A and B are shown apart, each in its own frame.
Chain A
Amino acid sequence: MKLRQTARLTVSVATASLLLAACSSSSSPSSSTTSTPTSSTSGGLKTGLKVFVIPKNLGNSYFTTADSANTGGAIAALDALGETGTETSGTTDTPSSQIPAIQAAISKGANALIISATDPTALCPTLDSAMKKGIVVVTYDSDAPTCRNLFINQATPQGIGDIEVDLLAQQLHDTGEIAIVSASADDTNQNTWIMYMKQELQKYPNMKLVSTVYGNDDTATSTQVTQGLLEQYPNLKGIISPTTVGIAAAAAVLDTAKYRGKVALTGLATPDEMKKYVADGTVKSFALWNPANLGYLAAYAAVELASGKINGTQGQTFTAGKLGSFTIGADMTVLLGPPYVFNASNINNFNF
């Protein structure tokens, strides 16, 4: 019947034309190579670069603070430098959600990528091919150590590990059982911090780490693992949760007459999340850095790299706008600075 034949014809034509278009564009040079930036200005740095900021996932307030223009984060720095900054990523904290966003950025002609890695190795095939194309790859917050040009570290892992343990030791008077509520077990930064925490603990022979549990950065799971800890270890005196989701969940559990003041809590958190718990005494002090500064620094570093002013060798220095001057350390890493300690006396000065 005519209808059937027409339909069959349409299907074949449609598929054929799509394939033809694909093949023809593959024979001509791809239009998606990195775009050439306009002439350079401002202290030898290139302008007009296309820079993509790719956090672990969208919808995380920590990253929104780090990346946004209105918080003084990465895109604010890029705007100030005359580049085009775009934030993009997937919606879940997994490599398979982040990779398409990275690939799309490359297709759109990125000159530089600023990435918080969802996994230390899963992104490497994509990132390696980006670097081969001449795209600058800078990681921030969470590293992919073998496949990037530079890593912007918020604080030395040792600094973070040390401060967490020291803050808790202060509250516990150096004695007692403690536990760690972490995020996901394959998180690069989490595991490095925990390793340094264990080292620092050796300074406090009367403090014992009885357990490390994983809340997977999911509120309900973090709550349940904390509850399990409290039941399994009735003598638990302190908890460290170096992840904003984990510490918020643990604080909610401990925020009762029974536990407040009896089980100390510290970790890494944004001031806004902890304001209530610092006010009612569930949490005495905790640490963080300014995520906006982290993003800002990462942006400057990426532009410096893309402009050829630095190439990641240890000892090179560059200036990052309002943050001042930075020196590149070992393993192509740049350090933001020491962690910042928040407590009742200063927490209300911050709004992120």
Chain B
Amino acid sequence: MTATLLRREPPDSAGASPRKLTERVFRIRESGIIVVLALFVAVTAGIQHRFVSETNIQFVLVNTTIFALLALGETMVVVSRNVDLSVGSVLGMSAYLSADLFGGHHGIPIPVVFIVGLGIGLGWGMVNGLLVAAGRVPSLVVTLATLYIIRGIDILIVGGGMVTANTLPGSFTGIPKATVLGIPYLAIAVAVVIAVGAYYLRSFRSGRELYAIGSNPEAARLAGLPIGRRTLTAFAVSGAIAGIGGVLWAAQYGTVDSTAGTGYELTVITAVVVGGVAIFGGSGSVVGAALGALLLATINSALYVLGISDFWDSAIAGFLLILAITIDRVISVRLTAALRLRSTRRAT
């Protein structure tokens, strides 16, 4: 009797409890962002009720979609202890080259254009992945170099040209504007993609291996995980997503020159870190990253709608980032302590 009283937890496999604890923490972290988001929206809407008007919500959702997508790819890279700084340049090149197709090939079907964009992104992603995996060169350096190189090639290709809206079919530029029940189709599509991504990372072995590689590369190597292949895949996916993001960019803005996507990598990484992904890998969720992107876009919109000088935008984003990583640090310290306590308790 005393034995059963003491043994509250069922003696199942040793991994379940810590896993449940970490999952609970992740969910708390994600709900933390949701709480901040809700508070922020409530306060802003209180001052300016048009902030939550249908059109503005549509604006914010559409503005978020590209960054949320990029955040998905970047999360996969970051949890495996890498970083992809080239996403902005890839997006820019894909935006121009794919949109330019409409001008050169009248009547080209829109899905083909998306595939071209995806292909461009995938190609560069594989270059990054190969350089990092096979070349054993740190991803910070590789993607910094490809950031320069891809943007440089883009500038050479584009020259002084630009793609203007009149060469794009209305069905293409209408993609970001189409709504169902007031919610943009694009936002729903991206939400689905994010959900798929989250499921993959959580429940597929190859997805979970990315976390393992990120949290302890040496152990992963010794355990025989195919690090090279996983790294290559992560970068390939990140690049492919950036490629699709480029096509969406062209659809949203209609006019594309060689500056498209400049600086996006910084925003994406900020979103990802604010969303709870650890910069040195091993933890974090895609949903959190997407919420981080949503939070940043919301703050951005709020500043403009409230008429506060948008010059506060960067300062707030930077402050949020620092706050987020500090909180994450505190949480992870507590979590590690709690896990260690549990495992010693179980041992005795």
Do the two shown chains form a genuine complex with each other? yes
Chain A residues at the B interface, C-beta cutoff of 8 Å:
58-61, 63-65, 68, 91, 211, 213, 218-221, 223-225, 227-232, 234, 245, 248-249, 251-252, 255-256, 258, 272-273, 275-277, 279
A-B contact count (CB 8 A): 110
| CB contact under 8 A between A232 and B304, given known A59-B158, A225-B310 | yes
Identity of the chain B residue whose Cβ is nearest the Cβ of A55 in the assembled complex: B160
Q: Which of B59, B255, B307 contacts A219 (CB 8 A)?
A: B255
Identity of the chain B residue whose Cβ is nearest the Cβ of A58 in the assembled complex: B160
Q: Is B56 an interface residue (CB 8 A)?
A: yes
- Interface range on chain B: under 10, 10 to 19, 20 to 34, or 35 or more? 35 or more
| CB contact under 8 A between A59 and B166, given known A231-B56, A232-B307, A252-B253 | no
Chain B residues at the A interface, C-beta cutoff of 8 Å:
48, 50-51, 53, 55-56, 59, 63, 155, 158-162, 164-166, 168, 173, 177, 252-255, 257-260, 262, 300-301, 303-307, 310
Q: How far is the CA of A248 from the CA of B166 in the complex (A)?
A: 11
Are B253 and A275 closer than 8 Å at their CB atoms? Answer: no
Q: Which of B55, B63, B307 contacts A224 (CB 8 A)?
A: B63
A-side contacts of B252, CB under 8 Å:
223, 252
Are B160 and A231 closer than 8 Å at their CB atoms? Answer: no
A-side contacts of B59, CB under 8 Å:
227, 231
Are B63 and A275 closer than 8 Å at their CB atoms? Answer: no
- In the A-B complex, the 9 residue pairs with the smallest Cβ-Cβ separation, listed nearest first, are A228-B304, A64-B160, A276-B166, A275-B166, A248-B255, A276-B165, A59-B258, A252-B254, A227-B59
Are B304 and A91 closer than 8 Å at their CB atoms? Answer: no
Are B162 and A224 closer than 8 Å at their CB atoms? Answer: no
Q: Which of A63, A230, A273 contacts B160 (CB 8 A)?
A: A63
Are A231 and B50 closer than 8 Å at their CB atoms? Answer: yes
How near does chain A come to B197, taking the closest CB pair, in angstroms?
24
Q: How far is the CA of A272 from the CA of B253 in the complex (A)?
A: 15
Q: Which of B254, B300, B306 contacts A232 (CB 8 A)?
A: B306
Are A252 and B173 closer than 8 Å at their CB atoms? Answer: yes
| CB contact under 8 A between A219 and B253, given known A224-B304, A227-B301, A251-B165 | yes
| CB contact under 8 A between A60 and B160, given known A227-B301, A232-B306, A279-B166 | yes
| CB contact under 8 A between A249 and B255, given known A59-B160, A255-B173 | yes
Identity of the chain B residue whose Cβ is nearest the Cβ of A60 in the assembled complex: B160
Q: How far is the CA of A232 from the CA of B304 in the complex (A)?
A: 8
B-side contacts of A219, CB under 8 Å:
253, 255, 259-260
A-side contacts of B260, CB under 8 Å:
219
